[in-house]
C-alpha cells in the first residue's frame, strides 16, 4: 500500500498534488461561482459573522494560522487562531455572531472536540474542516467542509495539512463572495491560482533530491532553527514541528521579525537555520527585511538554508544553500514552501534509521484530553 515508497509519510508527501486538487474539485458552478455544497449552514448566518476563531491542535493549528492571513485579507473579518485546549479553559468572548472553525484531520482529537462543544454552548456557529468522514467533530458541528486528502496513515501530518490550508482558502473566498468584500473577478483569479498549485507542488517534489541530500548530510545535527515571516511564519513553525516529531532534533520556529528581540542570541558558528523568504513581488518590503535577517545570522556564523521563489537572486550572496520553489501568489505560498521542509524532516529521520511513520511517544489521533 506504500506504492513503492519507503514509508507512508514519503508516499503521503507525494500524494499532496492530488490532495490539493481533490479538495478543490467540484467547488464551482457553471458561472464559476464558488459553491460549498457540503457546508450545510445558513448563508444568513455566515453574512452576519463578525469574528472567526480557529481552534485546532498541532499541525492543524498551523493550517489555521495560514488561514488567518488569507481570510482577513479577503473578507475583512478578524480571525483569531487558538490551540483548542487553551480556548476551552479560558473564558473566550464568543457569541452568536462568532464563527468557530475547528480544523482536524482525524475529526476525533479530544481537545478540539471539547473546544467545539464549548463554542456551541456559548452560541457560536461551529464549522469543521475535517478529513475523516463520519468522525465525531463534524457530527457535533453546525457545518462541515471536508478536505479530500484521502486516508492519512503516517502519524505526522503532511497531505492533510495542505488540504486543510486549501479548504480554509476555499472558505475565505466563499465568505468574500457571499459578503461582497472582493470583486467576483478577484475571487475567480485566486481560485484559478489555487487550481495551479498542484502542478507547482509536483515541481517541488521533482526537485526534491537537493533537499534530501542536505538532510542526509545533517543526520548529526542537534539543533535546527526555522525563520519565516507573514504566511512564512506558520510554515517555519510547521517545519520545526516536523523535525521534532520525526527526527527527535531540537527545533524551533520563529517569526523572522522577532529575531533581534531574542532568538539571535542562539546563533553561533555552524548553527543551521532554515529561512522561508517571502516573495519579492509581495507588498510591504518584507522580502528585503528577511534578506537582512539572513545577512545578520550569517555574519554570526549561521549555516543558512534558504527557501526562496524561483528567480529570486537576491538571496544568493547570503545563502549557504537555496531551495527554489515555483512563483506563487503571496497568500498561497505555504502550499509550496512547506514541502521542502516536510521532505527534509522525513529524509533526515530516515537517515537516522528512525521509523518516520510511527515516531516515539506520538499517536495519530489523541482521543484523551
Ligand atoms: C497530534 C498528531 O497528536 O494531533 C498530529 O500527532 C496532529 O499530527 C494533531 O496534527 C492534531 O490532529 P487532528 O487529527 O485533530 O488534525
- Under 8 Å between Cβ of 105 and 150: no
Separation of CA 362 and ligand 1 centre (Å): 9
Query: Catalytic residue at 242?
Result: no
Question: Could you give the CA distance from residue 36 to residue 41 in angstroms, rounded to a whole number?
Answer: 10
Lowest mean pLDDT among 15-24, 71-80, 340-349, 355-364: 355-364
* Burial of 168 from C-beta contacts in 10 A (0-12 / 13-18 / 19+): buried
Place of cell 518590503: 285
- Per residue in 65-114, pLDDT (tens digit) is 999 999 999 999 999 999 999 999 988 999 999 999 999 999 999 999 99
Please state the rounded mean pLDDT for residues 275-283: 91
DSSP string, 69-133: HHHHHHH---EEEEEHHHHHTS-----TTEEEEEEESSS--HHHHHHHHHHHHTT-EEEEEESST
Retrieve residue 120's grid coordinates. 456551541
What is the 8-class DSSP label of residue 262?
T
Q: Measuring from atom 15 of ligand 1, which residue has the nearest CA?
A: 104
Separation of CA 114 and ligand 1 centre (Å): 15
- Per residue in 280-332, pLDDT (tens digit) is 987 778 999 999 999 999 999 999 999 999 999 999 999 999 999 999 999 99
Mean pLDDT for the chain?
A: 95
- Under 8 Å between Cβ of 53 and 151: no
Q: Which residues of 300-331 are buried (b: 16+ CB within 10 A; e: fewer)?
A: eebbbbbbbbeebebbeebbeebbbbbebebb
Q: Would the CB of 105 count as within 6 Å of ligand 1?
A: yes
- Per residue in 183-233, pLDDT (tens digit) is 889 999 999 999 999 999 999 999 999 999 999 999 999 999 999 999 999
Q: Please enumerate in sequence order all residues whose Cβ is within 8 A of that of 173, keeping only pairs 6 or more positions apart, or say none.
A: 34, 74, 182, 187, 190, 191
Q: Would the CB of 63 count as within 6 Å of ligand 1?
A: no
Q: What is the pLDDT of residue 101?
A: 98
Looking at the DSSP assignment, which residues form a beta bridge with residue 53?
80, 100
- Return phi, psi of residue 252, to 5°: -135, 140
Separation of CA 165 and ligand 1 centre (Å): 15
pTM, rounded to two decimals: 0.97
Amino acid at each position: 500500500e506504500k506504492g513503492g515508497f519507503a514509508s507512508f509519510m514519503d508516499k503521503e508527501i507525494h500524494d499532496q498534488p492530488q490532495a490539493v486538487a481533490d479538495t478543490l474539485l467540484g467547488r464551482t458552478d457553471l458561472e464559476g461561482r464558488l459553491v460549498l455544497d457540503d457546508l450545510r449552514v445558513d448563508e444568513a448566518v455566515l453574512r452576519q459573522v463578525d469574528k472567526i476563531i480557529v481552534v485546532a491542535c498541532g499541525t492543524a493549528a498551523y493550517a489555521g494560522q495560514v488561514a488567518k492571513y488569507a481570510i482577513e485579507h479577503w473578507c475583512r473579518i478578524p480571525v483569531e487562531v487558538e490551540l483548542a485546549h487553551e480556548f476551552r479553559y479560558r473564558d473566550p468572548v464568543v457569541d452568536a455572531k462568532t464563527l468557530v472553525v475547528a480544523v482536524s484531520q482525524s475529526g476525533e482529537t479530544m481537545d478540539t472536540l471539547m473546544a467545539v462543544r464549548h463554542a456551541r454552548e456559548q452560541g457560536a456557529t461551529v464549522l469543521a474542516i475535517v478529513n475523516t468522514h463520519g468522525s465525531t467533530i463534524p457530527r457535533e458541528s453546525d457545518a462541515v467542509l471536508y478536505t479530500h486528502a484521502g486516508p492519512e496513515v503516517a502519524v505526522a501530518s503532511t497531505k492533510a495539512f495542505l488540504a486543510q490550508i486549501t479548504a480554509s482558502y476555499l472558505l475565505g473566498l466563499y465568505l468574500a463572495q457571499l459578503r461582497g468584500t472582493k470583486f467576483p473577478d478577484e475571487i475567480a483569479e485566486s481560485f484559478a491560482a489555487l487550481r495551479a498549485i498542484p502542478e507547482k507542488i509536483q515541481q517541488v517534489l521533482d526537485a526534491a533530491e537537493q533537499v534530501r541530500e542536505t538532510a542526509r548530510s545533517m543526520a548529526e545535527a542537534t539543533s535546527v532553527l526555522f525563520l519565516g515571516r507573514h504566511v512564512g511564519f506558520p510554515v517555519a513553525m510547521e517545519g520545526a514541528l516536523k523535525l521534532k516529531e520525526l527526527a527527535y532534533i531540537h527545533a524551533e520556529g520563529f517569526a523572522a521579525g522577532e529575531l533581534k528581540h531574542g532568538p539571535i542570541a542562539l546563533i553561533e558558528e555552524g548553527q543551521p537555520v532554515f529561512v522561508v523568504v517571502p516573495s519579492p513581488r509581495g507588498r510591504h518590503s518584507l522580502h528585503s527585511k528577511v534578506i537582512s535577517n539572513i545577512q545578520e545570522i550569517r555574519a554570526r556564523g549561521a549555516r543558512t538554508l534558504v527557501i526562496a521563489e524561483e528567480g529570486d537572486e537576491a538571496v544568493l550572496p547570503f545563502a549557504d544553500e537555496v531551495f527554489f520553489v515555483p512563483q506563487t501568489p503571496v497568500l498561497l505560498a505555504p502550499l509550496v514552501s512547506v514541502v521542502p521542509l516536510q521532505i527534509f524532516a522525513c529524509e533526515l529521520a530516515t537517515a537516522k534509521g528512525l521509523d518516520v511513520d510511527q515516531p516515539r511517544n506520538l499517536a495519530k489521533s489523541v482521543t484523551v484530553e
